[in-house]
Structure formats: C-alpha cells, structure tokens
A and B are shown apart, each in its own frame.
Chain A
C-alpha cells in the first residue's frame, strides 16, 4: 500500500512569507508526527497528533509554527513569517498509535524548505 506522502518535496520562499507543508499519513494510522531535520542535526520533534486527543505541541519552537490535522487524516504544518533559521527538512511520520507497545513510525520523504 501507499506510504506516507508529503508535499511539496521542495519549497523555496522569501523571508517573512508564510508556508504550508502537507502530510498524508498511511490510511488507518491514528498517530501523526512532525519533525524538523536541520543540516548535520538529528531529528527535532515538533508536534504529535493521536486520534481525537489534543495534540502535543511541546516541540514547536515558536508561536510562528502551528499544525492541524483535519478529519484525523491529512495534516498541515504552517510556518508564519518565515525566518532563515527555519530552513530545514520537515519530516512527517505516522503510526498505528502510541499507546502501550511501541508501534513503528513510518516516515515520509520530507519537504525541504529553503528560506532566502
């Protein structure tokens, strides 16, 4: 079946503009995660959705970052008033759920964001 997909694959924007990044998780996966991968860095957790529960936003670096998940499926990560330090690869992952035993996260190919 289809894996996690993300769009666009690449996004170049000017400083100060808003951007929206999209993630389509694997069908039936209730948990969805956003990470940021900066050059030479590991993955930085941003936000996590589990079913209809309130999202865990503890990883969002500033109030310019927000995310929503409509209908428990597709998710959009929005960055307002982009800054050059926002340049990174943004990765989305989904899993069956996160309760109890570990469920493998399946990652999308990422969106490479470049802020000029």
Chain B
C-alpha cells in the first residue's frame, strides 16, 4: 500500500524559532499533499492543500506567512512553522493521494511540535 513518511516524529523548539516538517510519499508520486493539525482529543483540521510546483491553498483562518508550505517535487512537501509560539504546539499530520484520481488519502505518522 501507499506509504507516507513524515519527519521528525517529534520536535521541541524555543519560542521565536522556526521548525521544518517533511512529508514524503515513499512508493508513489503525489501531486497533491494535505497538511492537517490535530489538537488533543479532537479530529483533524485541514490547514492547507499542497500542490507540486504551485502555491499552496490555505484554509480560512490559517496564516500562510506563518505556515510556509513548499511542494518542490512529486514526493516531498515541507511545512515550516515560522516564529513559533507556544500556541503553535500541536500534532501536525500530512497526507497524500496515490496516483489515481479516486484513490484514498494515506497519512503520515504525524509530528508532535512543542514550543517552549
């Protein structure tokens, strides 16, 4: 099955620094990847849709200058949390779709970000 790898699995950073999270599709090419955020005991909240070679589409209320997304290749998308603050602490999960138009989404294992 389709495998999505996310790195790092957890990170602790100081307030004001930036953190980059990588999402890779290991055995398929993903023209579209999605970034989600999940708070404890809550469901996934879509942050943005990342398209290879073009600008990401952000959901309402998500600051694009705060959460920089780069989808430079068909197998890699990155999310950079800039000038992180404690309220950015959360579980970030990426997902990608396989090659066919109607194929389901597969998720990475998430990155737990803690900003101190």
Question: Does B bind A?
Answer: no
